[in-house]
């Protein structure tokens, strides 16, 4: 592995209802997500700057993708302040498992929530 690159280069969040999930993530992050069907998988893409080594990802509906609360935990970028994202989660149908929590003095903050699809997702921000 090239040590200058990220360990993670892509993530997929499984969904049963792509439109419901897309609406939820667009609302809590105040973003727009484009859609496509690739290899039979319906996908809605998180905004990313392709080709610069930064991580990208998508919501994915397919037979191989099943929402769950166990397993790998993805931390989504909630900068500049995790609080603004947390404020929208419950009103958009999600449930907060862990409120804004300091990692370490000066190391940022994390939180964990359950999305309307049944996925456990984490947030990270510097403030």
Residue 5: band (very low, low, confident or very high) from pLDDT cuts 50, 70, 90: low
CATH number at residue 76: 3.10.180.10
Whole-prediction pTM: 0.90
- Residue 41: inside a domain: yes
Peptide bond between residue 22 and the one before it cis (omega within 30 degrees of 0): no
What the block records as the tokens of 92 is: 């958009």
Residue 78: band (very low, low, confident or very high) from pLDDT cuts 50, 70, 90: very high
Q: How many domains are there within the chain? A: 1
pLDDT at residue 3 in the model: 47
- Residue 93: inside a domain: yes
Measured at the alpha carbon of residue 27, what is the angle toward residues 23 and 29, in degrees to the nearest 5? 120
Residue 35 CA to residue 69 CA, distance in Å, equals 25
- Residue 5: inside a domain: no
- Residue 74: inside a domain: yes
- Residue 69: inside a domain: yes
- How much is the mean pLDDT over the chain? 92
Q: Domain residues for 28?
A: 10-125
């Amino acid at each position: 592995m090239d040590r200058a690159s990220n360990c993670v280069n892509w993530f997929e969040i499984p969904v049963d209802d792509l439109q419901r999930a897309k609406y939820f993530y667009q609302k809590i992050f105040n973003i727009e997500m484009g859609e496509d069907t690739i290899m039979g998988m319906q996908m809605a893409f998180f905004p990313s700057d392709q080709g610069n080594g930064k991580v990208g990802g998508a919501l994915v509906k397919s037979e191989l993708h099943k929402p769950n609360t166990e397993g790998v935990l993805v931390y989504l970028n909630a900068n500049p302040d995790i609080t603004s994202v947390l404020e929208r989660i419950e009103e958009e149908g999600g449930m907060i498992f862990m409120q804004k929590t300091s990692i370490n003095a000066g190391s940022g903050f994390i939180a964990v929530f359950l999305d309307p699809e049944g996925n456990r997702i984490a947030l990270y921000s510097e403030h």
